[in-house]
Structure 1
Amino acid sequence: MSQQQTNNQVTKQIQIFDTTLRDGEQSPGASIDPERKIVIARQLAKLGIDVIEPGFALSSPGEFAAVQQISRELQNVEIAGFARMMKVDIDAAIKATRDAARRRLHVFISSSDIHLQHQLRKTRAEVLKQTKEMIAYGKQFVNEIEFSAMDSTRSDRDFVIELVETAIAEGATIINLPDTLGYALPDEIEELFRTVRTQARGGQSVRYSAHNHNDLGLAAANSLAAIRGGATQIEVTVNGVGERAGNCSLEELAMIIETRKSALNLETNINQREIYETSRMVSRAMHYPIAFNKPIVGRNAFQHESGIHQDGLLKNRNTYEIMDPEAMGISRSMIILGRHSGRHAIKHRLSEYGIEVADAELTEVYDRFKALCDVKKIVTDDELIRIAGETTATQPDPYMLVDLQVLAGSHKSRIATVTVKDSAAGEECSYSGMGEGPLEAVIHCIQQAIPVAAEFEDLELHSVSTGEDAHGEAVVTIINKGERFRGTSIHKDIIFAAAQAYVAACNQAIMTGKKQDDGAEEEAEVV
C-alpha cells in the first residue's frame, strides 16, 4: 500500500480490482465472446485498472484462450486467475495466466453455514481442510494468493477468523471478505474487516479486499466502509454489472473517491477520461442498456430540464453539478429542453448552433416550443431548430429527411431508398442503398446524401407508449472529427425514427463545425 502526504493528511492509495469479465459476465444474458473480452481488457488497462480478473479459465476452451491472451498482452496490469478450491481449477488458472508479468491466484470457498449445509454439503472442518490443502497447492506456483471467504457477511464471525487464519498460514497474501448477497449494512462491513484484521493470527501481515454486491443498493457505501475497516483493494465491475443487482460500480466508486477526495483522503489510479468510453463499450458488448438515471454514466446524469436549474448552470456550472462530465469523456449535453425549460435555455441552445433570435422572435419560438411540449415531453434539438427556422423564415437545418422506403425480406439483403432535402441548394434528391438490415441500408443512403464523414457509433431504441399506436424513441450517436453528436427522434416507425435521429446528429455536427469555423475567421480578422 502506497501513501503520500497531502496537506498534512495521509492519502491512502486504493487498488481497483476489476471483475467485469468474470463476475460481471455472470449477469443473465451478458455473456461476452472471447475476442471482445480481449478488447475490453485493453480498455480496462487504459482506464487505469490495477488488477483484471479476465474470466474463469476452466469454463471453456474459448475462455481459457481469452484469459491466456489477456495475460500475454497486458504486461502492465496484474492478472488474477480465478479458481474454486479444486486442483483442476487451480491448474487451469495457473496455466492460463502463466505469461502474465504480474499475476495472482484468486481462490474462494463458502464460509456461511447456509452455504456449507445446502450447497457444499460439507462441515466446517472439511472446508478448513480443503482451504489448507488447496492454498498450499497453489502456493507452489505463485507468490500472490487472494483468498475469498464467500458469503462472509452472513457467516459466523469466529469461523471466518479461523478460515482466514488457515489461509494466511498456508501463504494467502490478500484476504477478501465478500458481501456475496449484498446483505450487510455499512457499519457491519466496517466492523467485520476491523475485527478480522485485528483478531486473526497474522491478520496484520496481509492486505484486505472487499467484494460487495448491490442487492440493497449499498455496494458503494459498503466498499467505503470496508476501506474504513482496513481494506486497501475494492473489487468492482463496469456499470455495476453482475449477478442479480450486480456489483459495486467501478465508475461510482472512482468518482466518489475523486469528488470527495479531501474528505476521504483516498485516491485511485483510474483515468477519468476513459470512464465513459469504457462504460459504453461494456454496455454494447453485453447488450446491457444503461439506466437513464444511472449515476455518472446514465443518460440523465448530467442533464437538466428544470428552468431554475438550467438558468443556474448557464451562469455557473457548479450551481447544479458536482462533477465535470467532460473530464470523464462525456460530451456536454447538460440541458434537456422540455416543458419546464425557460427562454434563457432555449436562446442558449440555439446560439450553440449559430442561430441568433431577436427578443420578439424568441417569444414566438418559446410559445411554439411550449405548445410542442404539451404533445411531447422533450423537444429535440432538431425540432427546436426547425421551430426557429419557421419562425424566422429561414431554414437552419442543413438537411431534412423527406421520405424513406425499405424493402425487407427474410433471406435477401435489405434495399432502401431515401429522399433528402439539401436546404442550401433547395433541392430534394433520392438515394438507394443496401445492407444486411433495414437500418444499415437506410444509413448507407443517408451517407451518400450528407457529405459529413460521421461514424454511426450507437443506437438506442425506447418505447414511449403502448398499444397499436405505440411510438418509439431513437437516440443516435455519431462521431465526427473525434467529437460526439447525438440526435433524437420519435416516430411510430422505428426505422424512420432512427434515420431522422441520424440526420439530426449529422446536422448538429455540420452546424457546430460551421460556427467554429466562423468564430475562427472572426478571430483571424481581429488579429
Structure 2
Amino acid sequence: MTEPRTIKIFDTTLRDGEQAPGASLDVEQKVELAHRLARLGVDTIEPGFPISSPGDFRAVQRISREVEGVEICGFARAVKDDIDAAVRATQDAQRRRLHMFLSSSNIHLDFQLKKTRAEVVRLAREMVSYAKGFVDEVEFSPMDATRTGDEFLFEVLEAVIEEGATILNIPDTVGFALPEEYGDMFTRVMRGVRGSERVEFSAHCHNDLGMAVANSLAAVKAGVTHVEVTVNGIGERAGNCSLEELAMALATRGEKFGVQTNIRPEEIYATSQMVSRMMGSPIAFNKPIVGRNAFQHEAGIHQDGLLKNRSTYEIMDPERLGIPRSMIVLGKHSGRHALRHRVAEFGVELDERQLEELYAAFKERADKQKTVHDHELLQMAGSAVDRALEPYTLSEVQIVTGSGGHRVASCRIRDNEAETERIVTGGGEGPVEAAVNAIRSAVPEPVEFAGLELYSLSAGETANGEASVTVRLNGELHRGTAANRDIMLAAAEAYMAACNRAVRTARAARAPGDDAADSGGSPVGESEITIS
C-alpha cells in the first residue's frame, strides 16, 4: 500500500466567489470567513484582489496578519501596479503566494487584450520575473487555457517556467472543457512542456456546463497537486468547483484516486451556512452535500430501507459533516413505518389503533400540503394518545410592525407540563427578531438562535411561505420548520418547534435530579436571516 498523496485545497471563495453578482463582503466579513476557512482545513486562501479597491486591500492585509496556519495568496493581473499591491497586502503573512493571470486564447487576445501572441509571451516573462523579486511562490494562470490550443499554451508555460514560476494553474475559465479533455490537457502539458518537472500544477474550473467538479477530479487523476475551489461553488456566472463536493468525492471515493485532502468534514456544513448567509446566496435544496434535501427522504420505500440500514440509500454520514440529522421527511409518499419511527423518536409508543388513527389524520393533511412538520405531527399524535406531547405550545402571535421604529411581538405560550399559560412580549429591529425574543423569554433553557431561512412555496396572493429555524443548545444544533400563509407566523412557529426539539433532547439527556439550566439564549439579529 502506497501513502496517498495530498491534494492541496486552494480556496478562492473570498476572491472569485465574491465576484458573483450581489455577493460582496465587507472587510470584517472577509476576516471572519477567512478564520472559518482556516478552521475548515484549506491549504491556501485567496482573500481578494488587492488592487481592485481599498477595502479589498485592507481585507487581504488583515487576513495576512491575523489568520495563521494557511498560505495567503495575493491576486494580480500581469501589471506592475497589481503585483506591487498584492505584495504589499500579503507581506505580513506567515506563508504567501502571488497568483498572476494573463489571457492566452485567441478570442481573449483579439477582443479583450488587443495584443499579439508575441506581446503576451514577452509580458508574461517580464511580470513573472518582476514578481520573483518579491515572492518565492509565483503561480501563473493562462486565462481561458482550455480554448487556447497546445502550441501557444506550451509556449507561454515554458516562458514563465524559465522566469521562475513555481505553480502553473491551467484554468477552464468559461467551463468549456469536458472531463476527459481537461485531464488529457494536463497529461500533455506535464509530458510536453519543458521544465514541467520543476513546477507544481493546479486546476481551476468553472461550472458553466455543470462539470466543474468532474473536470477537477479529472485533473486530480492526471496528477495535479492543487485544486482551486469555492464554498458552495459560488462564483461568476454558474460558479466554480464546489469545495464540499470535491472534498467529499475524494473522501468517499479516495481509493479510485489514491489521494487525500486536509479538509475537516465536520466543519463543512457550518462553513457553507456562513458563506450562504454572508453572501446572501441561498443554497439550492438539491445541492449535493449541503443542500436541505441532500440527506432527507420522503418516499416510503427509501424511508423503510434507511430505517433498516442507513447505507441502503446514503453513501455519507451527515453528522460527520456537521449536519443536523433529519433524514425522514414526512409527506404524502411516507408510510406507516416512517410515521411510527418519527413518533417513537419523541418517546411516544402507539398501539395499532392509535397508529391507524394518526395515519389517517396524517394522510389527510399530507394531501393538502407538501410536508407535515414535526410540530404538526406531534399535535396529531397528541390527539391520538389524548395528551400534549410538546413541552410548549405557541397558541397566539401578534406582531406590531411598520416602516419605522421598534417592532414588538406578543405571544401566548402554554407550558404543557406545568399546565400553565402566559403571555410574553419581545422587541427587536425586525418582526422576526421581536417574535423570537418574545418566545425565548418563555423557554427556561439557554437556547441560542443559530439561523433562519425563509422560502416561498408558491406564487400569487395566497402563496404559502416556509420557515426553517436552527437553534443551538449544549453545543448541539436543532432544527424546526413550519409553513404558513403569514411568513412571520411561520418563522415564529418554526422557532417554537426548534426550541421544543432542543428542550426535549436536553431533558432526555439530563440525569435525574439535575437542575434546569438558567435561561438566557442569544438574541437574534436580522443579519442571520436568509430569504429566497
TM-based fold match above 0.5: yes
Deviations 1:112-146 (A, max 9, x none): 00000101111111111111111110000011100
Aligned residue for 1:16, secondary structure, equals: strand
1:202 matched to which residue of 2?
Answer: 195
Confirm whether residue 313 of structure 1 aligns to residue 320 of structure 2: no
Q: 1:108/1:520 Cα in 2 relative to 1: closer, same or farther (>3 Å)?
A: farther
Quote the Cα distance in structure 1 between the aligned partners of 2:67 and 2:488.
41
Whether 2:154 is the aligned partner of 1:154: answer no
Closer/same/farther in 2, CA of residues 421 and 88 from structure 1, 3 Å limit? same
One-letter code aligned to 2:289: I
Q: 1:299 aligns with which of 292, 301, 311?
A: 292
The residue that corresponds to 1:396 in the other structure is 389
Counterpart-to-counterpart distance in 1, 2:97 and 2:241:
21
Q: Structure 2: any 5+ residue segments left out of the alignment?
A: 515-532
Q: Who is 1:382 aligned against? A: 375
Instruction: Show the counterpart of 2:522.
Output: none
- Alignment partner of 1:360 out of 353, 374, 377: 353
Native 8 Å contact 1:236 1:248 kept in 2: yes
Q: Quote the offset at 1:64 in angstroms.
A: 1.0
Give the alignment partner of residue 122 of structure 2, picking from 119, 125, 129.
Answer: 129
Shift of 1:518: 7.1
Q: Per the alignment, in what secondary structure is the counterpart of residue 449 of structure 1?
A: coil
* 8 Å contact from structure 2 (residues 50, 89) kept in 1: yes
Alignment map for 1:75-114 (pairs within 5 Å): 75-114=68-107
Partner Cα distance (2:255, 2:304) in 1: 29
Indicate the larger mover: 235-244 or 512-521: 512-521
Opposite residue 15 of structure 1, the aligned amino acid is: K
8 Å contact from structure 1 (residues 132, 170) kept in 2: yes
Query: Are residue 436 (structure 1) and residue 429 (structure 2) matched?
Result: yes
Moved more, 64-73 or 287-296: 64-73
1:211 paired to 2:204: yes
Q: What are the residue-to-residue correspondences of 1:395-474 with 2, within 5 Å?
A: 395-474=388-467
- The amino acid of 1:369's aligned partner reads F
Q: Deviation at 1:87?
A: 0.5
Q: Which residue of 1 aligns with 2:365?
A: 372
CA distance in 2, matches of 1:100, 1:520: 52
Which residue of 13, 20, 23 maps to 1:30?
A: 23
Q: Which letter does structure 2 place at the counterpart of 1:120? A: L
Q: Name whichever of 202-211 and 350-359 sits farther off.
A: 350-359
* Conserved 8 A contact 1:338-1:379: yes
1:177 aligned residue (170, 176, 179): 170
Segment drifting more, 305-314 vs 112-121: 305-314
Cα offsets for 1:279-326 (capped at 9, x unmatched): 111111101111000000000000111111111111111111101111
- Give SS of 1:299's match: coil
Please name the residue that 2:279 is paired with.
286
Picking from 63, 72, 92, the partner of 2:65 is 72
The structural deviation recorded for 1:10 is 4.8
Does the CA-based 8 Å contact 2:60-2:90 persist in structure 1?
Answer: yes
Could you tell me which amino acid in structure 2 is paired with residue 488 of structure 1?
T
Shift of 1:74: 2.1
Match of 2:51 in 1: 58
Could you tell me how far apart the structure 2 residues matched to 1:439 and 1:10 are?
52
Matched-pair contact (CA < 8 Å) for 1:352–1:512? no
Aligned to 1:5: none
Q: Deviations over 1:236-279 (max 9, x none)?
A: 00000000010000000000000011222111111111111111
CA distance in 1 between counterparts of 2:3 and 2:400 reads: 66
Alpha-carbon distance in 2 for matches of 1:393, 1:290: 40
Q: Which moved more, 1:417-426 or 1:234-243?
A: 417-426
Contact 2:220–2:257 at 8 Å: present in 1 too?
no
List per-residue Cα deviations over 1:82-129 (Å, max 9, x = no partner): 000001000000000001111111000000000001011111111111
The CA deviation at 1:230 is: 2.4
Other structure's SS at 1:189 match: helix
Letter of the 2:423 counterpart:
S
Letter paired with 2:72: I
Q: 1:505 corresponds to which letter in structure 2?
A: A
Q: 1:349 to 1:518 in 2, by over 3 A?
A: farther
Give SS of 2:91's match. coil
Tell me which residue corresponds to 1:514: 507
Q: Give the letter aligned to residue 102 of structure 1.
A: R
Q: Which residue of 1 aligns with 2:229?
A: 236
Q: 1:489-500 counterparts in 2 under 5 A?
A: 489-500=482-493
Pairing 1:333–2:326 present: yes
Q: How many residues align?
A: 514
Change in CA separation of 1:170 and 1:519 when aligned onto 2, cut-off 3 Å: farther
Of the structure 1 ranges 10-19 and 145-154, higher mean CA displacement relative to structure 2 is found in: 10-19
In 2, Cα distance between the equivalents of 1:519 and 1:83?
A: 62
Equivalents in 1 of 2:441, 2:472: separation in Å? 17
Letter in 2 for 1:482: G
Q: Which amino acid aligns with 2:496?
A: V
Say if 1:519 and 1:267 are closer, same or farther in 2 by CA, change over 3 A.
Answer: farther
CA contact (8 A) 1:51 1:79 kept: yes
8 Å CA contact 1:353, 1:512 repeated in 2? no
Measured in 2, the distance between the counterparts of 1:504 and 1:415 equals 21
Aligned equivalent of 2:259, options 259, 262, 266: 266
Aligned-residue identity in percent: 56
- Contiguous gaps of at least 5 residues in structure 1: 1-7, 522-527
Q: Is this contact kept in 2: 1:354–1:511, CA < 8 A?
A: no
Aligned amino acid, residue 243 of structure 1:
E
- Structure-1 separation of matches of 2:401 and 2:423: 19
C-alpha contact (below 8 Å) 1:34/1:63 kept by paired residues? yes
Query: Aligned residue for 1:189?
Result: 182
Displacement of 1:422 after TM fit? 1.7
Aligned to 1:4: none
Give me the whole-angstrom Cα distance separating, in 2, the residues matched to 1:163 and 1:263.
Answer: 33
Q: Which amino acid aligns with 1:229?
A: A
What is the CA-CA distance between 1:389 and the residue it aligns to? 0.2
What SS does structure 1 have at the residue aligned with 2:367?
A: helix
Q: Tell me the distance in 1 between the aligned counterparts of 2:68 and 2:423.
A: 52
The one-letter code of the counterpart of 2:48 is: G
Q: Deviation of residue 510 (structure 1)?
A: 1.5
Give the CA RMSD over aligned residues. 1.3
120, 125, 137: which one aligns with 2:113: 120
**CA displacement 1:446-491 (0-9 Å, x = unmatched):** 1112222111111111111221111111111111111111111111
Q: Deviations over 1:140-193 (max 9, x none)?
A: 001110000000001121000000011101000000000000000011111111
Is 1:11 the counterpart of 2:4 in the alignment?
Answer: yes
**Partner-residue secondary structure (3-state), 2:449:** strand
1:178 is paired with a residue whose SS is strand
Q: 1:520 to 1:84 in 2, by over 3 A?
A: farther
